[in-house]
Structure 1
Amino acid sequence: MINPLSATIDVELNSILAITRYTLNYTNQQAMPVEAIYHFTLPRIAAVLGCEVTIDGRTYAAVIKGKQTASSDYEQAIREKRRSVLVESLQDGVYAINMGNLAAGESIQISLQLGQALVAQDAGNKLIYRLPTQIFPRYGVSNNDLMPDVNLFAHYPFALNIRDKGVKVLASSHPLQQREDGLAMQGVLDRDIYLEFSASATCGLLQATWQGHSYTLGYPAIADAQVGEPQAFNLHIVADRSGSMLGDSIALLRSALDGLLVNLDDSTGVNLTSFGCKYSLFKESVKPLNGSYRKQLRQFVATIEADMGGTEVMPALLATIKSLPHAGERENHLVLITDGHVDVCDEQMAAVTLLCKQHGVTIHVIGVGYSVNADLAGRLTDATGGRLVLVNPQAEFAGAIADLAAECGFAQLTNPWQWQQHDWGINAPCFSPGLPRLVMAKGCDAQFKNGDSAMPVTEIEGKWAQALVKIAGMQEYLLSSHPHSGELSTQLELLTAYTGMIMVDTGGDLVEGDTQTMVVPHMRPASRVMFSRGGPMDAASPGARDEYLDIPVFLRKKPDYVPSQRFADTMLAALASVWRSPQFTQIGCRRMGISDTLLEMLKTWAQRDNLPFRQVLALYLRLYAEAKNMHLSKRVLKRLNVEWNEENQALRDDMQLYISSTLASEPAA
């Protein structure tokens, strides 16, 4: 077992903002000094706020410097045999922590402070927190030759704390425990950490000033209209199959598209265009996604490869728009998915705009990675009233596809709210009622106005002001093409391609011996863990389906039962049977298809409270049945009462919290 790394994670929440203290504890298990390199990634709307390094009781704050200066200082420290740390931005949203001159057996603690804007869903009533811990699989290929390997024997535990008693978690990637000061979670770094919170409907904006820069951001409620019944629509997906999609990238695209096709309604008109240096349409026009056509399209998606050369998007767009029916009762939506930098002349843009107007087509763009031509994508979406979504290459785009498909089912309304008196801003020309979009602007006098009405703004201070300004400033850096990006990075102390975060240990002894460079491997990703509204779904469990990739509940054809639900239902049914009375043992549970996550949770509870495993299992089944309002026969109740006859309120509370999390995905009858 390879376990040189562990993590402690503390999360604080404030409205739509989260500050995470992500503390990595690394021990050099080699017999010689090493320079260890560990890679990590962030959500798209996030920024590194700071970094502290502790070595042998000495704590240093890393300092932001220019890229060349930081690298030069780090290399100088390596030559002088001093311990040093360099945090740098690579590409495609990947960051590297370089830990230099760690002596054999020596430990180092690196505490990263991360800020992010939570993702709002369901008219702002739900907020999503995600901390990526896996870099693979990814959409798009990085040229960094020091990307981490995945090691089957790597085992990196973590412990997470949410210091907020009032927070209500609806779903999570790992089991939660209630504590006096908030919630706790434990696991290993084999999947992204995901939390879904209940929140009040968003109705305002947050504003902050830090380092002389002022930004405003938020999810404004820009209409009183509520989400109604989704309407039938046409959806034509234009997918990039250029050479940059080789390997895991194209596999991830196949999986995401297949999940979408499984869960779209039969009445949805669907077609697919593939493009590279050439293009091809699956059918001449969109067709209703009935049983046979759905099967044909899924079979085609399963065979697509990254075999179409370069990234020539314009011929594919023009052919796709022409294939769509003229504006009628149904709205036409085109979703372009690309990771490449494409260039379009004004004449081509004019042709696309005219054709979209004639056919009533709305273009949405999912730009994956950091080489996407965001200016062009913005022009395409602004001209047609569509949505531009820029995501990291680390599988976030699967959820983006699902969210866009959900939004296509609702009428698009012209957005009357606009930024005024601002230096830079993000806003959408159209919106769908109840589906929030993040807006932001720069400038101390920036106002979000509809005529004479201005959206209310809440001023925040302290560390939250720093977090807001850095998060928004990072978006300005990523989306702006002006030549002052390096200056902005320095002024706001952003970790970008222009800067680095450096720490040199000036108080310790010099490290003797030659240093060996090594890349810290990542854990093997859990078997296609997919997040539903009830928590994670493990595709390795019996009956789990690859198709569920963050598809919104109202688009699903069937409720998605997570492993704990499926096992409990099976166990209770077996108890009611005269012929299949199950054993209340770990072996008996495995025969019934229990997930590893639930089995480990039951074992943990049993060990913690010094109880037999069969008693803990009996209580879990009893509470599960109560949560689902299931009627249990006398036979089942008798068996459960025989196994469990004690009072343990703390255990009951922990189980009820876990069960409510796993049942949150089940739609109401």
Structure 2
Amino acid sequence: MKITSLDPARCLPLPDAGLGAMETERGNLPLESVDVAASISGLVAGVEVAQGFRNPFEVPLEATYVFPLPDRAAVTAFRMEADDRVIEGVLKERGEARADYDQALREGRRAAIAEEDRPDVFTIRVGNIVPGERVTVRLTLSQPLPYEDGAATFRFPLVVAPRYVPGTPLDGPPAGDGVAPDTDAVPDASRISPPVLLPGFPHPVRLSLTVDVDAAGLDLRELASSLHVVRQEGDRLSLEPGERLDRDFILRLGFDASTALQLDGAGTFALTVVPPPLAGTRTPRDLVLLLDRSGSMGGWKMVAARRAASRIVDTLTDQDRFAVLAFDSYVEAAFDGLREASDRNRYRAVEHLSRMDARGGTELLEPLRQAITLLGETTRERVIVLVTDGQVGNEDQILEQTGGALSAMRVHTVGIDQAVNAGFLSRLAGLGAGRCELVESEDRLDAAMEQIHRRIGAPLVTDLSLKGLETEPGTVTHLGSIFPGVPLRVYGRYREAAAVTVRGLAGGAPWEEQVPATVVDNPALRAVWARAHLRELEDRYAMGEHELEGQIVRASLEYGVLCRFTAYVAADTRQVAEGGPEHRVVQPVEMPRGWDMPAAAPMAAAAFRMPSPGSPLSGPAAEIHEAADGIATFGGVGGSTGGAAGPRGFTPPPPTGGGQAMKRGRGFARAMPAAKPMAPGAVRHSLDAVRPQLVAELDRLKATRGVPDPLYLADLASRLAVLAAFLGGHAELAALARELESADQPGADPAALWARAIEVLTSLTSGGGTSGDTPRTAFWKRP
């Protein structure tokens, strides 16, 4: 065996830096700092987020950062600061904003754009950052604080977790620059899948977070941070230095809320109704419990999920019926159909749950369909309880295909993670007039389960309506129901108001409460209402009401709140570069704390996305994403690649052995799939199934023109070998993979191998799917 020494000048290992981490003379990644400054007043928080970028390269740079914000937050302002200049952002229709941004870059001007891809996932691009320059972008937002059982919660997410992406890859150029290909189920997957840093990456993004608390006349009993250590000086809390962007910041504020009707004097109202001291009535229920056992639920999350699911089963009585479905890439039932919740059946269900472990992909759509079918038409109360981390990319597909049926049931969601997909889980619960409970640690589980126990029972008050308040049609947010311990929160626009009477049914009997109005000087009320209103319209759009697009855009622009159909753009008038940026970097993000690394190689992720869930692939390929010279990151296809199995029975090989040879490259071990003959009767896929991957590989190869990298070519060999195996032994791809395998060996000619790879991939992709195809007209791809 020949061992080739690496040139020490190419990669400098750092002591205790973590596997795969390296440093270069040019510095680190472009994102230097994230500063969060929050001000809480009562049940509303105002937040300013500042992101600092620096160009460590010798040419103009475009930096892209995919990051989370609270799903109920209303982004109301955006600005860019650079070279002692401040450029205020302008909110425009998304396609128009992109056109302005692209034109500014072509003309050599500095520009930045902020876009929403999910209610809690956003993308910022900053272009034409000149060498050595620092640019700061600032977002201003307002968010309501959920209140339950005597405590309000300020939750600020800090990392976008990998999400599972189902479906078949699409032809044509990708919608974004992420590591997951767009699919028919998630056509914008490449916009929500940033590359992920290896553990222990040195020089993390500098994070600062401060919270100023004003009880606004309420009796504030305690402040508690559940996932971070904080310092308190008077009414200000701040994070300890050195924290990483790898989990949500969660602050709970204990105080007693009160019933109130607030008017901002400019046509917006906020109504809060504290639950009345009534006893909830128990009616017979049909309940379907869905437990997520996918790979991303590994570790403490699976333990907590099993405990939560078992506690939910124990709340049932003999008059109830229930079913338990555990799901990953397929659905496994504890027993057939709905069963009476007898002691024997509850014991069988809990025993079944105790055997659950994490594996496979998060195929959520099918278990929701089965739950809807099981519940069918009945006079009983129909309840679905979903226990998951919610890390899926196909939220819109799920809402479109199940939203109508779920709105006729009661849906409760239990989110378990330190970087939970709260936006999607709250959308599901909102559709079904249920509750969304979030559990960020095992320590928090018992308290959360006490709340869940009461929530899955019948609500205290249903069939709510408002009287005495002249509202603008179509502006009042969903009324829902009143549950024990959870105040009703309603926002809307009014014409005239002095008081409001809230009416409903409590245990079948009429119930009402009159609430006097108070005028407050709080401009955040309008922004919070507008965000809630826009989210309801966007959910209806996702469920098929596409004619709402114009209304959504108009509301977003009128009230100055960012949504998926609009974008903030800030473009400087001064030219700073010749033409557009010459280098582009997608900022990698941290792996969420508590997540296991994807299986296959010791530190490799499944970067190749199977075109269909049942693909007969022998093993995943590890892929390096070069975020900056010498910086090793990895990319995965979703939140559920980290378990023991992949999509629908696809099982990765063990780290060593298993028919694989381990090959060293770029500071980490990667798995080279051993050549295997096509099994008799195995499916042979056409080249079209992998053409998008080949186009992407060709584009990356062309970008390395001038200095072919032998290590990159050797890495490419492993990916092409996987594609060849998937196609049933494609001769040209397999031959090219064998040629490139030797690229980093003594005597190899990297330039000749680079030219050979360009020639073969150009030939294979010339039949379609090139980067010059006409882009899709979905709103996230305009113009």
Could you tell me which of 267, 273, 284 is aligned with 2:325?
273
Q: Is the 8 A contact 2:44 2:142 kept in 1?
A: yes
* Aligned counterpart, 2:245: 189
Between 465-474 and 111-120, report the one with greater CA deviation. 465-474
Could you tell me which of 491, 499, 505 is aligned with 2:572?
505
* Aligned counterpart, 1:282: 334
Counterpart amino acid of residue 188 in structure 1: R
Q: Is the 8 A contact 1:84 1:100 kept in 2?
A: yes
Q: How much does 1:287 deviate? A: 5.2
Counterpart amino acid of residue 528 in structure 2: L
Q: How much does 1:85 deviate? A: 0.3
Counterpart amino acid of residue 557 in structure 2: T
* Aligned counterpart, 1:341: 399
Is residue 149 from structure 1 mapped to residue 195 from structure 2 by the alignment?
Answer: yes
Q: Is the 8 A contact 1:139 1:249 kept in 2?
A: no
2:565 and 2:580 map into 1 onto residues whose CA distance is 32
1:399 and 1:117 map into 2 onto residues whose CA distance is 25
1:517 and 1:399 map into 2 onto residues whose CA distance is 46
* Aligned counterpart, 1:518: 585
* Aligned counterpart, 1:133: 158
1:403 and 1:80 map into 2 onto residues whose CA distance is 59
- SS of match in other structure, 1:32: coil
Superposed, which structure 2 residues align to 1:418-437 within 5 Å? 418-420=465-467, 421-422=470-471, 423=473, 424-428=475-479, 430-437=481-488
Q: Structure 2-normalised TM-score?
A: 0.54
* Aligned counterpart, 2:264: 208
Counterpart amino acid of residue 149 in structure 1: P
Q: Is the 8 A contact 2:477 2:533 kept in 1?
A: no
Q: How much does 1:485 deviate? A: 1.3
Judged with a 3 Å threshold, the aligned counterparts in structure 2 of structure 1 residues 444 and 200 are, in CA distance, closer, same or farther, namely farther
Could you tell me which of 203, 225, 229 is aligned with 1:171?
225
* Aligned counterpart, 2:727: none
Q: How many residues align?
A: 495
2:370 and 2:41 map into 1 onto residues whose CA distance is 46
Q: Is the 8 A contact 1:232 1:268 kept in 2?
A: no
- SS of match in other structure, 2:399: coil
Counterpart amino acid of residue 385 in structure 2: V
Q: How much does 1:215 deviate? A: 3.2
Between 331-340 and 492-501, report the one with greater CA deviation. 331-340
Q: How much does 1:442 deviate? A: 3.1
- SS of match in other structure, 2:495: coil
Counterpart amino acid of residue 153 in structure 2: I
2:327 and 2:214 map into 1 onto residues whose CA distance is 50
Q: How much does 1:364 deviate? A: 2.0
Is residue 298 from structure 1 mapped to residue 353 from structure 2 by the alignment?
Answer: yes
Q: How much does 1:109 deviate? A: 1.0
* Aligned counterpart, 1:261: 309
Q: How much does 1:72 deviate? A: 0.6
Q: Is the 8 A contact 2:165 2:189 kept in 1?
A: no
* Aligned counterpart, 1:579: none
Superposed, which structure 2 residues align to 1:551-566 within 5 Å? none
- SS of match in other structure, 2:534: helix
Q: How much does 1:377 deviate? A: 8.3
Q: How much does 1:456 deviate? A: 3.0
1:288 and 1:412 map into 2 onto residues whose CA distance is 25
Is residue 413 from structure 1 mapped to residue 471 from structure 2 by the alignment?
Answer: no
Q: Is the 8 A contact 1:208 1:469 kept in 2?
A: no
* Aligned counterpart, 2:290: 239
Cα offsets for 1:421-443 (capped at 9, x unmatched): 33232344532232224322333
* Aligned counterpart, 1:564: none
Q: How much does 1:75 deviate? A: 0.4
Judged with a 3 Å threshold, the aligned counterparts in structure 2 of structure 1 residues 310 and 233 are, in CA distance, closer, same or farther, namely closer
* Aligned counterpart, 2:49: 22
- SS of match in other structure, 1:426: coil
Between 194-203 and 175-184, report the one with greater CA deviation. 175-184
Q: Is the 8 A contact 2:54 2:132 kept in 1?
A: yes
Cα offsets for 1:494-549 (capped at 9, x unmatched): 222221111112246336785211101112322359xxxxxxxxxxxxxxxxxxxx
Q: Is the 8 A contact 1:83 1:505 kept in 2?
A: yes
Is residue 221 from structure 1 mapped to residue 274 from structure 2 by the alignment?
Answer: yes
Counterpart amino acid of residue 239 in structure 1: L
2:362 and 2:214 map into 1 onto residues whose CA distance is 52
- SS of match in other structure, 2:95: helix
* Aligned counterpart, 1:46: 73
Is residue 198 from structure 1 mapped to residue 254 from structure 2 by the alignment?
Answer: yes
* Aligned counterpart, 2:209: 160
Is residue 450 from structure 1 mapped to residue 538 from structure 2 by the alignment?
Answer: no
Judged with a 3 Å threshold, the aligned counterparts in structure 2 of structure 1 residues 478 and 406 are, in CA distance, closer, same or farther, namely farther
* Aligned counterpart, 1:474: 534
Q: Is the 8 A contact 2:466 2:502 kept in 1?
A: no
1:81 and 1:290 map into 2 onto residues whose CA distance is 69
- SS of match in other structure, 1:405: helix
1:289 and 1:445 map into 2 onto residues whose CA distance is 58
Cα offsets for 1:471-504 (capped at 9, x unmatched): 3343343345545112111211222222111111
Judged with a 3 Å threshold, the aligned counterparts in structure 2 of structure 1 residues 279 and 86 are, in CA distance, closer, same or farther, namely same
Q: Is the 8 A contact 1:103 1:511 kept in 2?
A: no
Q: How much does 1:267 deviate? A: 5.6
Judged with a 3 Å threshold, the aligned counterparts in structure 2 of structure 1 residues 344 and 99 are, in CA distance, closer, same or farther, namely closer
2:284 and 2:402 map into 1 onto residues whose CA distance is 28
Counterpart amino acid of residue 98 in structure 1: R
2:362 and 2:86 map into 1 onto residues whose CA distance is 51
Judged with a 3 Å threshold, the aligned counterparts in structure 2 of structure 1 residues 52 and 43 are, in CA distance, closer, same or farther, namely same
- SS of match in other structure, 1:202: coil
Judged with a 3 Å threshold, the aligned counterparts in structure 2 of structure 1 residues 235 and 306 are, in CA distance, closer, same or farther, namely farther
Q: Structure 1-normalised TM-score?
A: 0.62
Give the alignment's Cα RMSD to 1 decimal: 4.6
1:84 and 1:343 map into 2 onto residues whose CA distance is 39
Percent of aligned pairs sharing the same letter: 19
Judged with a 3 Å threshold, the aligned counterparts in structure 2 of structure 1 residues 246 and 101 are, in CA distance, closer, same or farther, namely farther
* Aligned counterpart, 1:547: none
* Aligned counterpart, 2:623: none
Q: How much does 1:98 deviate? A: 0.3
Q: Is the 8 A contact 1:233 1:408 kept in 2?
A: no
2:113 and 2:373 map into 1 onto residues whose CA distance is 47
Q: How much does 1:9 deviate? A: 1.6
Between 362-371 and 334-343, report the one with greater CA deviation. 362-371
1:307 and 1:177 map into 2 onto residues whose CA distance is 38
Cα offsets for 1:204-254 (capped at 9, x unmatched): 1333366xxx3333431141348x9x999978335398xxx9864899995
Q: Is the 8 A contact 2:78 2:139 kept in 1?
A: yes
2:589 and 2:63 map into 1 onto residues whose CA distance is 13
Judged with a 3 Å threshold, the aligned counterparts in structure 2 of structure 1 residues 12 and 373 are, in CA distance, closer, same or farther, namely closer
Judged with a 3 Å threshold, the aligned counterparts in structure 2 of structure 1 residues 217 and 276 are, in CA distance, closer, same or farther, namely farther
* Aligned counterpart, 1:621: none
Could you tell me which of 110, 113, 123 is aligned with 1:96?
123
- SS of match in other structure, 2:39: strand
Judged with a 3 Å threshold, the aligned counterparts in structure 2 of structure 1 residues 259 and 503 are, in CA distance, closer, same or farther, namely farther
Counterpart amino acid of residue 335 in structure 1: V
1:252 and 1:192 map into 2 onto residues whose CA distance is 16
Counterpart amino acid of residue 224 in structure 1: P
Between 284-293 and 169-178, report the one with greater CA deviation. 284-293
Judged with a 3 Å threshold, the aligned counterparts in structure 2 of structure 1 residues 320 and 272 are, in CA distance, closer, same or farther, namely farther
Judged with a 3 Å threshold, the aligned counterparts in structure 2 of structure 1 residues 283 and 265 are, in CA distance, closer, same or farther, namely closer
Q: Is the 8 A contact 1:378 1:388 kept in 2?
A: yes
1:511 and 1:399 map into 2 onto residues whose CA distance is 60
Judged with a 3 Å threshold, the aligned counterparts in structure 2 of structure 1 residues 415 and 332 are, in CA distance, closer, same or farther, namely closer
Q: Is the 8 A contact 1:418 1:427 kept in 2?
A: no
Cα offsets for 1:30-88 (capped at 9, x unmatched): 33221100111222222112112110221121111111211011001111111110111
1:102 and 1:195 map into 2 onto residues whose CA distance is 36
Counterpart amino acid of residue 363 in structure 1: R
Counterpart amino acid of residue 160 in structure 1: L
